[in-house]
Amino acid sequence: MAAPPSSTTVISSASSLADSLFQRSLDDLIKSLRSDPSSESVIISRAISEIHREIRSTDPLTKSIALQKLTYLSSLYFTSMSWAAFHTIELLPSSSLHTKRLAYLAASLSIHPSTTDLITLSTHQLHKDLTSLSNSSSSSPFLPSLPLQLLSLAASPDLSTHLAPDLVPLLSRPSPLQPKAVSAAYRVLSLCPSTVPVLFKPLVDCLSSDNPLTVSAAVGAFCELSAPPNDPSPYLPLAPEIYRVLVNSRSNWTLIKVLKIFSRLVPLEPRLGSRVVEPICQFLRESQAKSLVLECVKTVVTCLPTHTEAIQLAIGKIKELLSADDDPNLRYLGLQTLRMLAPQHLWALEENREVVAQSLIDPDRSISCEALRLMMAMTLQGNSVEICTLLVKQAAKSDPEFANEILDSVLTSCAKDFYELVVDFDWYVSLLGEMARIPHCMKGDEISRQLVDIGLRVRDARPELVRVARELLIDPSLLGNHFLYTVLSAAAWISGEYVEFSKDPMELVEALLQPRTSLLPTSARAVYIQSVLKVLTFSCNSYLEESGSAVNNTVITRMLSLIEMTVGPLAESDEAEVEDRVRNLLGAVRLVGNIKDHSGDKDKDGMIYEVVKGMVHLFSDEMGPVSTNAQKRVAVPDDLDLKENLADLSEFISDDDVDNATQFRSKDSILLYPRNHNASEEVELGPTRLAESTSLEEHRKRHGLYYLSSDKEARESELTEDYPLVNEKLLPLNGDTARRVKVTKPRPTVVKLDEGEDLKTSSSLSNKEEAKDDALSGAIMDALLGKNGEGPASAFDASSSRQGTSKDKEREIKSKKSEEGESKNRHKGKRRHRHRKEPEPGVSASQEKPVIQDFLL
Amino acid sequence: MIRAVMVISTQGKPRLLKFYQFQPPEKQQEIVRYVYAALSGRPDNVSNFVDADSIFGPATRLVYKHMATLYIVFAFDSSENELAMLDLIQVFVQTLDKCFKNVCELDIIFNFNKLHTVLDEMILGGQVIETNCDQILKHVDDIARIEKSSSTKSLMPKSISSRFGQ
């Protein structure tokens, strides 16, 4: 520290001399890494500390080797090199091309505006290297490609604005650098919309360059600019230029990109479709390049679905792809393109169903997943039974991962829009049961949710639900699978709730109390025990009413003793939930214990009868689905003062109650509430309830307000029309497919509360993206309309007059003729005329520009 | 656009990584791990495409070629054609093959810079700029030549001259 500056210099230069003499090269580092792979991390950390020292060296060679090693370690061993950003930028101006290239490589791999703002320091150096060709003839012609590469990967808006003018000469002068300049200009342009006035016109000019590579790069740039989520409409006026590339280019690479651009423009301007369909059909018929044919198929399928000839050709090609037995790539792509036909040309999917089903068992996961998506895409009400049964069978044979993927697709698509695909709920419910039994099934949560949901929403499905639940409950082997606990718990709830459909209550109780239930988690066990209580209540009631033939004296006796024997020990359970319910159950058993002596003794029977009736009442409340928006829809009356009187109630409502309620609500995906709570109130009206109701009474008296209808008629009407109204509006089906639906029995009603129950709004999601995109497309619109003084509008005039090369004209005339012929054949002349008269509002962009108008007419 | 070019050994070691949308090192490591897991589980003689939505975003895909001890992988989005990408891998492999005379994993390990040079002549910022492997090779050779001549010009004095110059 105390040493004079001169001696520090001496020391540092001596140490850096030692560094450069004994420095390990990159090859040395790689060799040592390879020689001892086990101690890799030690070698790396030693190397990093060496690099820390070496990179501060004043010797450029030492420094550059250090940077090279660091780049290597950072790129392939993921060590951070953000600390070295400054050293990297320091080496950019090096006079040695080798060092310079190392520095640029290091910068392009490690520097990014999101991690460091040091990149701004290199602005001048990038400018110097970009313009090196025009400034000195001696420098390497490859020099500008280095800053172009860096710009394309690490440009910041600031850097883009400063360097955009330097790109213009590179864009406009034909050279091997031109394609690179185009690609870099695209990145700069998309990053920084303010560079549009500078870069857009030269970019457009590149579309008509003589160098095919430049054209290819320019088409690629516009393909990216128009790609979603960007708005493609600003590029509509470029359609004539791009069309010329389509008919003139010989490069498949270029043509593919051109087709991609058109597939984004045609939906905006349907008249473009009839222009491009001809060359596309020609490629489909004649091209040998599979990649180009594939792109043509995609274009036709996505944006020319009304052009019959093109569609026929495309579907033919898809079939060819699907039948390529020796090439899985083509089969994969065939399936993928087939899926694009889904909503409009379902018949084509149906035609190939065999191939698709076959592909489900393909060893290739990509193919089988694609086939699965296709299967789901072609599922309709009419064929859902067939397809879903096939899929579930397939799932049973597949490996765990794919099996769950199949189950997931089946469950999601069948449950969509309130089980719209499902006509026969008995079938679907038993399918759910089957799915649960598939080995490795991990979709228990969703299956149980749907089982309960169907129980609530579809009355007609309840008998079958109970049957399926029984099968699940009586199988002791299922109790060992922890993925199924939620399903079993749902099954237990269903068999308790809808016990009236059960054929053999005794068997049910035995299943619910079998020894292996001890394996269940507390939550499921609690449901089991509660269900036993429901079954017991039901059985006693039917015994007393002597209507149920299945229940007789012996059955009740056995049931009671079984419950006492198995549940008794659980009364001391550690789990509050279980203990609570066990005590309830045992209490009930004791209450009705004398029932077995049912002998006609009026007084005694009468008492038991009362008790049982009361308990039946307790469970007779129908559970219904509750809309998640239900609370919100109740308007708060203006004169409602929640604070004034209800504050008196606070002593009755403890915090615990509120907590419990919210807890349950957040836990359960389905909200349950008793519909006719009046009945239950009568049974368990305790002193607290009474007090509560009196204070409510008082409140009503004072304010004359009745939030809930309490008069008799209303209550009765509530009881009869208690069940939520059914929303029977179904989505319209394709006429074609609707006819094919063979409904053997009427579809039961599914209770829907509101259409928006499951809808999520996504508008806020894309706001930010849109804002940025708007800036870019707005700037481009401006550039195209020539608002920036001497704008490219004149360039278009020039280029459209240049259009008149004889070859072009010939083609133009030819296609126009063939179009006219077509339109005459199909009697579309009239529609065309109308088009001309009143252009759609959606294509206002094209109205302002005569260029495209001329092109289309 | 092309999102990334990766060469990963069948042991799961990255040999060349180039991301055309910036990824911090931790994310890069995660991507390599994911891609390796996705590819190493695939049997031979299956298609060369794998969905990559979960790692590169919606509608992205991987195309790969398994050559001896290496996976050569390109990640791309909906602006690229699948079969064209497969061809591009072929171009890349052919170029490397010509460049190193029967390329093997060792060539790739020891020629970090040259590999990047080859790649940069073929793809810039995720856009394909050259697909002719002879042209690519010519550019790479030209660069090497110019680099050599510029460094022989100043080889001796390089480190020393700057030292004396100070």
Disruptive mutation site among A64, A110, A224, A254 for chain B (greatest number of B CBs within 10 Å): A224
Is B19:B4 a contact under the CB 8 Å cutoff?
yes
Distance of CA A117 to the CA centre of its chain: 34
Which residues in chain A have Cβ-Cβ distances shorter than 8 Å to B20? 152-153
Q: Is A695 helix (H, G, I), strand (E, B) or coil?
A: helix
Beta carbons of A27 and B110 less than 8 Å apart: yes
Q: Which chain A residue has the Cα nearest residue B7?
A: A76
Instruction: Find the angle CA(A228)-CA(A231)-CA(A235) to the nearest 5 degrees.
Output: 115
For residues A370 and A374, what is the distance between their CA atoms, to the nearest angstrom?
A: 6
Give the residue on A whose Cα is nearest the Cα of B65. A329
Q: Residues of A numbered 192-221 whose beta carbons fall under 8 angstroms of chain B's beta carbons: which are they?
A: 213, 216-217, 220-221
User: Chain A: nearest CA to B110, how far in angstroms?
Assistant: 7
Helix, strand, coil share of chain B (percent; to 5): 50, 20, 25
Q: Residue A561 domain-assigned?
A: yes
Q: What residue of B is the nearest CA neighbor of A177?
A: B129
Whole-number Å distance between alpha carbons of A341 and A329: 19
**Chain B residues closer than 8 Å to A302 by CB:** none
Chosen from B39, B74, B81 to mutate, greatest number of chain A CBs within 10 A: B81
Angle at A357 between CA A352 and CA A359, to 5 degrees: 95
B126 chain-A contacts, CB cut-off 8 A: 152, 183
Query: pLDDT per residue over B59-73, tens digit each?
Result: 999 999 999 899 999
Query: Contact A329/B131, CB-based, under 8 Å?
Result: no
Alpha-carbon span A283 to A278, nearest angstrom: 9
Q: If 0-12 CB within 10 Å is exposed, 13-18 middle and 19+ buried, where does residue A457 land?
A: buried
Residue A219 contacts residue A245 (beta carbons within 8 Å): yes
Least CB–CB distance from A295: residue in B42, B81, B166: B81
| B-chain residues near A333 (CB < 8 A) | 49, 82-83
Cα angle, residue A694 at apex, residues A691 and A698 outer, rounded to 5°: 140
Is the sign of the CA dihedral A522, A525, A529, A531 positive or negative?
positive
Chain B residues whose CB is inside 8 A of the A252 CB are 84
Task: Report the first-to-last Cα separation within chain B, whole angstroms.
Answer: 47
CA distance A105 to A274: 47
3-state secondary structure of A764: coil
Q: Does A782 contact chain B (CB < 8 Å)?
A: no
pLDDT in tens, A691-703: 445 555 565 555 5
B110 contact residues in A (CB cutoff 8 A)? 27, 30
Higher-scoring residue by pLDDT: B54, A832: B54
pLDDT in tens, B86-98: 999 999 999 999 9
User: Omega before A229 cis (within 30°)?
Assistant: yes
Q: Pick from A252, A185, A294: which is nearest to B132 by CA? A: A252
Distance CA A69, CA A52 (A): 11
- Cβ atoms of A615 and A588 closer than 8 Å: yes
Percent of chain B whose pLDDT exceeds 70: 90
A706 DSSP assignment: -
- Mutate which of B20, B107, B159, B161 to test chain A, going by most A C-beta atoms within 10 A? B159
Please indicate whether, in this complex, the C-beta atoms of B113 and A13 are within 8 angstroms of each other: no
How far is residue A147's CA from residue A143's CA, in Å, rounded to a whole number? 8
- Are B116 and A256 inside 8 Å of each other by CB? no
Q: Do A58 and B166 touch (CB under 8 A)?
A: yes
Token code pair at residue B41: 């589980």
Q: Among partner residues A97, A252, A331, which is closest to B146 by beta-carbon distance?
A: A97
C-beta separation of A628 from A671 below 8 A: yes
What is the topology classification, in CATH, of domain B2-152? Beta-Lactamase (3.30.450)
The backbone torsions φ and ψ at residue A503, rounded to the nearest 5 degrees and listed phi first, read -85, -35
Furthest CA-CA distance within chain B:
63
Q: Name beta bridge partners: B5.
A: B18, B74
Question: Given CB atoms, is A329 within the 8 Å cutoff of chain B?
Answer: yes
Residue A23: phi and psi, rounded to 5, are -65, 140
Q: How far is CA A604 from CA A71, A307, A554, A594, A600, in A?
A: 93, 84, 19, 9, 8
What type of residue is A343? Answer: P
Any residues with CB less than 8 A from the CB of B138 and at least 6 apart, and which? none
- Residues A496, A513: contact at Cβ < 8 Å? no
What's phi and psi for B75, nearest 5 deg?
Answer: -110, 135
Cα distance between residue A158 and residue A153, in whole Å: 14
Judge whether A275 lies within some domain: no
Cβ B124–A260 below 8 Å, yes or no?
no
Q: Collect the ranges in chain A with pLDDT lower than 70.
A: 1-20, 136-140, 546-552, 594-605, 642-745, 753-773, 786-857
Using CB atoms, which residue from A98, A184, A364 is nearest to B151? Answer: A98
Report chain B residues whose CB lies below 8 A from the CB of A19.
none
On the CB side of B41, how many CA atoms lie within 13 Å of its CA?
13
How far is it between the farthest Cα atoms of chain A?
Answer: 121
Q: Which residues pair with B19 in a beta bridge?
A: B4
A557 within domain boundaries? yes
Q: Please give the residue of chain A at the shortest CA–CA distance from B136.
A: A176
Distances (CA, A) of A791 to A57, A186, A843, A848, B109: 51, 19, 22, 15, 51
Both tokens of A713, joined, read: 């008629």
Asked if the structure places residue A525 within a domain, the reply is yes
B20, B22, B147 member nearest A97 (Cβ): B147
Residue B60, SS3? coil
Q: What letter does residue A574 receive in the DSSP assignment?
A: S
Closest residue in B to A21 (Cα–Cα)? B159
Residues of chain A in contact with residue B109, where contact means CB-CB under 8 angstroms, are 30, 34
User: Rounded distance, CA A645 to CA A529, Å?
Assistant: 41
Complex ipTM > 0.85? yes
Domain count of chain A?
Answer: 1
Q: What is the pLDDT of residues A259-277, one digit of tens each?
A: 999 999 999 988 899 999 9
Q: Is residue A608 part of a domain?
A: yes
Task: Read off the amino acid at residue A441.
Answer: C
Best probe of the A interface among B9, B22, B34, B132, by most A CBs < 10 A, is B22
Distance CA A47, CA A593 (A): 83
Specify the amino acid at residue B54. Answer: S
Domain that holds residue A614: 504-620
pLDDT at res. A262: 95
Q: Is the distance from CB of A371 to CB of A338 less than 8 angstroms?
A: no
Q: Read off the amino acid at residue A843.
A: V
Sequence-ordered alpha helix ranges (H) in A173-327: 178-191, 196-206, 212-225, 239-248, 252-265, 270-286, 290-303, 308-322
Of B117, B158, B166, the CB nearest to A96: B158
- Within a domain: A676: no
Beta bridge partners of A673: A624
Contacts A–B by Cβ distance under 8 A: 172
Per the rule left: phi > 0, alpha: psi between -120 and 50, beta: everything else, B125 is left
CA distance B6 to chain A (A): 10
Going by C-alpha positions, the residue among A135, A143, A208 that lies closest to residue A180 is A143
Contact (CB, 8 A) for A262 and A246: yes
Which residue of B34, B124, B143 is the best one to mutate when testing the A interface, meaning the one whose CB has the most A CBs within 10 A? B124
Cite the DSSP H helix spans in A5-141. Answer: 5-22, 26-35, 40-54, 60-77, 85-91, 97-110, 123-130, 132-135
DSSP code of A594?
G
Contact yes or no for B47 and A328 at CB 8 A? yes
Rounded to whole angstroms, the Cα distance separating A706 from A466 reads 40
Question: Looking up tokens 């190193």, which residue turns up?
Answer: B100
AA letter at A132 = S
Question: Alpha-carbon distance A562 to A94, whole Å?
Answer: 91
CB spacing of B49 vs A105 below 8 angstroms:
no
The partner residue sitting opposite A329, judged by closest CB among B49, B112, B131, is B49
| Residue A93 to chain B, least CA–CA distance (Å) | 14
Q: How far apart are CA A113 and CA A120, in angstroms?
A: 9
Any idea what the Cα angle at residue A397 is, between residues A394 and A399, rounded to 5°? 110
Which residues between 228 and 267 in chain A have a beta carbon less than 8 angstroms from any beta carbon of chain B? Answer: 228, 252-253, 256-257, 260
Radius of gyration for the alpha carbons in chain B, expressed in angstroms and rounded:
18
User: Is residue A494 assigned to a domain?
Assistant: no
Using CB atoms, pick whichever of B112, B126, B139 lies closest to residue A26: B112
- Residue to mutate among B82, B118, B123, B137, with most A CBs inside 10 A, is B82
Q: Which of B46, B129, B163 sits opposite A180 (nearest CB)?
A: B129
The sign of the torsion formed by the CA atoms of B113, B115, B116, B120 equals positive
Q: Tell me which chain B residue has its CA closest to the CA of residue A328.
A: B47
Q: What is the pLDDT of residue A547?
A: 52
Q: Is the dihedral of CA A406, A407, A410, A415 positive or negative?
A: negative
Q: Classify residue A378: in a domain, yes or no.
A: no
Judged by DSSP in three states, A857 sits in coil
